[in-house]
Structure 1
Amino acid sequence: MILTLLSLLLQITPLSNAGNWLTPYEKSLGTKTATYSECIRYYQQLDNAYDEFKMEEYGSTDSGKPLHLAVLSLDKDFNPISVRRKNKRIILIQNGIHPGEPEGIDASMMLARDYLQKKELRAYLKDVVVLFIPIYNVDGSLNRNRHSRANQDGPESYGFRGNARNLDLNRDYIKNTSRNAQSFTVLFREWQPDVFVDTHTSNGADYQHTMTLIATQKDKLQAPLRDYLTTQLLPQLYGQMQKRQWPMSPYVDSKGESPDTGLVGFLETPRYSTGYTALFNTIGFITETHMLKPFPNRVQAQYAFLDILIRIVQQDAGKIAAARKKADQDVLLQKQFAISWQLDTTAVDTITFLGYAAKHKPSEVSGLSRLYYDRNTPFSKKINYYNTFRPETTITKPIAYVVPQAWEEVIDRLRLNHVKMRTLRRDTSFTAEVYYIADYKTSSRPYEGHYLHSGVQVRTEKQKLHYFAGDYLILTNQPASRFLVETLEPQATDSYFNWGFFDEILQQKEYFSSYVFEDIAAQLLRENQNLKKQLQDYLASNPEAAKNGQAQLDFIYRHSPYYEKSHLRYPITRIGEK
């Protein structure tokens, strides 16, 4: 067994790299993953030894420890503005968002070292700068254990999924609750990477593949990036991984009980890493190695994928630059934006899947029928792959949004994401398009620190509103326009409204005393025949209300001047349409 592990390790690590340059993973012969301190110390060692490598701190995490970024740049340029000016392609590799899924941590340490030490690999960095986040969830990495990944084959111990606030950081990109996410946003928006990779380990079904892959959902990308991703980048990644004996499959999310029923594409909304990066025209990947494969195999597959990706990005540097430039231009001109999506089950592709037969047998625990995968019955066959999503809700982009300064949490997040904003210099009034929240649903249990809203319905009015000096006018003709639409439009899946940042507007602040309002309501009906007709229509369609005096008073109140106009009025308003 030890000889087998050593053989696997030597596929990556030449004997000349022995001694001080062996990682903790290599020293343990593939049984251990680096601790947080070991990982940071190793990157610092590379920083001290090579002028082409620099590690710096990018803000803090909820643990109080810094978020680190390591930069591999052959011309020793570590300034993001300068790097982009030189037309370099930038790859950002993020590890340890779930520290119990640590393969990327160890693979990246070896990858950084090998690209510094091997002359033949340096050629692939001519037009490419590689960024490494050694461990993103520092907090979870420090919470080390050996039991929380109950179904996983190694390593000996590892970190925990939740961070110091027990947040899953891969649900925090758009809402920015954690300091980790806030620091990441600063880093990401400063460097503006062309390609982003978030390394993971998957749970779920059993199958032969060691690596599965989530790519940015193609229908959510601008056409130039979608075309390059689907016709060139993905075929090369799958082909080269096959050549290295790591055949890949799309991420295994089964349509039915087991993968042979077909796979469904993953719709990563902006709460997820690659859903967030897509808002800024960055192609994203989530690598998912399989939990049941031996830890060394999983690390090797992660290493192979990252190595292949760097080589392809160098080879296609010009194509990627052209596709992204065109995508950026298209976003500025785009008028219609999809803000929610639905799977099209009529659009079906087929893929070759390497699986195991799904069978059933009596459970030793309950005696009831249970699912299992028979490794004695492997198969390779074509299965359906459903990966086409259609817009469910589409809006027309306004010329501008107006954000009152009272909503500081939202303004802070816009500022973090480099949104260009102007402040009104004096108090003023003007007519804007206003949303009223007509209907919504709220989850009964908290999700990542929030009670999520969904199923939002709005009605629109034009109103003349008063604004104060210091309120924000945000023109949408800017690089962050898609980010603005998907956060400020309340019907968007991961809008700031759905995450609860505007819950104050959902509560009514004034009401009436029935015995007093009775006389006022009677007078309103005498003086306003239209209101009287509205009440009659309401009672005709709601027989129960005819027996409920309070309900009738409430109806009249809500259709009277006494009812507060701010109740259910979404505070961010729209000016014109592009």
Structure 2
Amino acid sequence: MKRNILLLISLCCCLHVYAQLTPFEQSKDKNYTATYTEVISYYTKLAKTQPQMRLFNYGSTDIGKPLTLIVLSKDKVFDPSQIKKQNKRVLLINNGIHPGEPEGIDASMMLVRDLLKKNQLPKDVVLCFIALYNIDGNKNRGLSRVNQNGPGAYGFRGNYRNLDLNRDFIKADSKNALAFTQVLSAWQPEVLLDNHTSDGADYQYVMTLIETQKDKQNPFLAAYTDKTLTPDLYKGMKKSGFEMIPYGAGEQGLPDSGIVSFMEYPRFSTGFAAQHNIISYMTETHMLKPFDKRVWATYAFMQNLISICQRDANILGDMKKQVDDQVSKQKTFALNWKLDESKVDTITFKGYAAGYKISDVSGLKRLYYDREKPYTKTVKFYNTYQASATADKPVAYIIPQAWGKVIDLFRLNKVAMKRLSHDTTLSLQMYYIGDYKSGTRPYEGHYIHTNVSLNPVDAKVKFYEGDYVVYVNQPINRYIVETLEPQGVDSFFAWNFFDSILGQKEYFSDYVFEDVAAQMLKTDPGLRKKLEDAKAADSKLAASAGAQLNWVYRNSPYFEKTYLRYPVGRLLTNTKLDLQ
């Protein structure tokens, strides 16, 4: 009887331990990634037994499910404002934005359990894990990444709207992005990690890394990450058995031709976080390495990052305050960047010899990597960028309330705004769109505008009661300026938020306007001279009666002043305004 009781107790213990294992751990070949249902079920059961863990649901994603955030707090405090008052840091980890790159999902499930069970939660850092960001894509399960070595089945890159969610942060077309911004605004992390899997060349590393590019990062943050945090992450990962290399090997050709550091614009999670003065990293495990190694490499990276955040908790807190203050006072902002190829570093790279052989498909030469021929070489590393477009901030931007999506996103991103108390005519600077190029094919549902040129003019413009005034004296200044300056690489104008201003609304009938135009030229010699000068400078204008009539119309008081006028005004002087 006693023996049976012991066997029963032993069996119950085994079942309890097994119940704590993740689906990845339970799988025979460790080539399995958890489904959405398995992920939420696992965390829900774990949370019932762990007072230092809590689940929060945010918003609704495009498939109708909320975004679930796992929060681990050693002191069992789960109020973000209270956490800030306790002078604790917040680390936010995002998983499954590309569900075909699922290592972070499975690694986080194990890490959360282990930190709790082993009583290893950091005392000065609250850990936030987005359990699975692209729920929509995760449910669309199958095989879609032909270049990847496992797992046996996984989700699809696009979400329910077929959006690549790691191109959506700044434009926020998806409900997923809106829910993410709620999380970011509520918890205000000092550090963000987004877990991914790479494409590209073959090499010896399991893990590669993207960090916020140092030249677009705030100088305070860049000095710390470039000299301390990033080097320590590389050291820690090497000690963990997963030596890293910067992401980008082979992106510009064969890996031994050099590595170009990735420029993550605000459309990406890391670029978006940088606008909020957050230190950001993106892991990119190597697609051809076995899935279990990729999961454990991601696990190891998160362990190392957590350890350093705890070690440097005071530094991170003090630095965030300094950066927020500096950005509030910053005058000039970069809006786009270009690689400076004249500045080249070197880096040690462990790759495989590349060669060419005859393709069995085409009968022509094809590239391959020979894993029987590993090498270690010193290769070029391009890691310097220069600002290719900048703007000086105004005192304030005036945003007409008609542009509701802009207002909604500003509110969601915690931008401080005031409203005009009554209709007001203001003297300010307005932009007219001089020229721009648009894509010939849609990119993530948009025809992005590039090469934007502007004609700034001083004007008196009437704004209305309830229109918004955004003073550019806030820690969130980067987000404000980079979205509202039309020439910005990921500005709201670039993403087609303001395309209605690009269409002319009123026109003229030739036979009616001929007489009006003739009378205008007769009574205004200055206008006649301007037309003659324009004809002398443009032979096509001189040869076209219709073009000349249109020229007169455009230079007449009848031509609409709002055509090509960017609707957001720039208040350049401190002006007393009656505000709500």
Mapped to 2, the partners of 1:73 and 1:534 lie a distance apart of: 71
SS of corresponding position for 2:283? strand
Q: For residue 358 of structure 2, what is the aligned residue in structure 1?
A: 362
Q: Which moved more, 1:61-70 or 1:315-324?
A: 315-324
Deviation at 1:17, TM superposition (A): 8.3
Candidates 429, 432, 442, aligned match of 2:428: 432
Q: For residue 208 of structure 1, what is the aligned residue in structure 2?
A: 204
Mapped to 2, the partners of 1:132 and 1:166 lie a distance apart of: 24
Partner deviation per Cα, 1:501-558 (whole Å, 9 max, x = no partner): 1000000000111122112222222222222222222222221221111111111111
Mapped to 1, the partners of 2:443 and 2:217 lie a distance apart of: 27
2:396–2:472 contact (8 Å) kept in structure 1 = yes
Q: For residue 22 of structure 1, what is the aligned residue in structure 2?
A: 21
SS of corresponding position for 1:432? strand
Deviation at 1:18, TM superposition (A): 3.4
Q: For residue 318 of structure 1, what is the aligned residue in structure 2?
A: 314
Deviation at 1:482, TM superposition (A): 1.1
Partner deviation per Cα, 1:486-509 (whole Å, 9 max, x = no partner): 111100110100100100000000
Alignment of 1:55-454 (within 5 A): 55-119=55-119, 121-122=120-121, 125-145=122-142, 147-254=143-250, 256-454=252-450
SS of corresponding position for 1:205? coil
Mapped to 1, the partners of 2:366 and 2:547 lie a distance apart of: 52
Partner deviation per Cα, 1:258-280 (whole Å, 9 max, x = no partner): 11111111111110000000001
Note the residue ranges of structure 2 that are not aligned, 5 or more in a row: 1-13, 575-580
1:435–1:461 contact (8 Å) kept in structure 2 = yes
1:253–1:266 contact (8 Å) kept in structure 2 = no
Mapped to 1, the partners of 2:251 and 2:146 lie a distance apart of: 24
1:97–1:170 contact (8 Å) kept in structure 2 = yes
Mapped to 2, the partners of 1:524 and 1:480 lie a distance apart of: 50
What one-letter code is carried by the residue in structure 2 that aligns with 1:20?
Answer: A
Report % sequence identity.
53
1:559–1:253 distance in 2 versus 1, CA, 3 Å = farther
The ranges of structure 1 where at least 4 consecutive aligned residues each deviate by more than 3 angstroms after the TM superposition are: 15-18, 253-256
SS of corresponding position for 2:361? coil
Q: For residue 578 of structure 2, what is the aligned residue in structure 1?
A: none
Q: For residue 507 of structure 1, what is the aligned residue in structure 2?
A: 503
1:358–1:541 distance in 2 versus 1, CA, 3 Å = farther
Candidates 495, 517, 528, aligned match of 2:524: 528
Deviation at 1:577, TM superposition (A): 6.0
Mapped to 2, the partners of 1:101 and 1:515 lie a distance apart of: 64
Partner deviation per Cα, 1:244-298 (whole Å, 9 max, x = no partner): 1211011025464211111111111110000000001100111000110000010
What value does the CA root-mean-square deviation take over the aligned residues? 1.3
SS of corresponding position for 1:556? helix
SS of corresponding position for 2:516? helix
TM-score, structure 2 as length reference: 0.95
Mapped to 2, the partners of 1:577 and 1:464 lie a distance apart of: 13
Q: For residue 37 of structure 2, what is the aligned residue in structure 1?
A: 37
Mapped to 2, the partners of 1:138 and 1:435 lie a distance apart of: 41
SS of corresponding position for 2:451? strand
Note the residue ranges of structure 1 that are not aligned, 5 or more in a row: 1-14
Deviation at 1:190, TM superposition (A): 0.9
Alignment of 1:489-500 (within 5 A): 489-500=485-496
SS of corresponding position for 1:219? coil
Partner deviation per Cα, 1:92-151 (whole Å, 9 max, x = no partner): 0100000010000000000000100113x23xx111110000100011111111x20111
SS of corresponding position for 2:426? strand
Deviation at 1:467, TM superposition (A): 1.1
1:99–1:568 distance in 2 versus 1, CA, 3 Å = same
Mapped to 2, the partners of 1:176 and 1:255 lie a distance apart of: 27
Q: Does 1:483 align with 2:479?
A: yes
1:487–1:495 contact (8 Å) kept in structure 2 = yes
Mapped to 2, the partners of 1:577 and 1:104 lie a distance apart of: 49
What one-letter code is carried by the residue in structure 1 that aligns with 2:125?
Answer: V
Mapped to 1, the partners of 2:324 and 2:116 lie a distance apart of: 33
Mapped to 2, the partners of 1:370 and 1:517 lie a distance apart of: 65
1:397–1:577 contact (8 Å) kept in structure 2 = no
Partner deviation per Cα, 1:311-331 (whole Å, 9 max, x = no partner): 011111111112211111110
Mapped to 1, the partners of 2:73 and 2:573 lie a distance apart of: 43
SS of corresponding position for 1:218? coil
Partner deviation per Cα, 1:312-358 (whole Å, 9 max, x = no partner): 11111111112211111110110011111111001111111111112
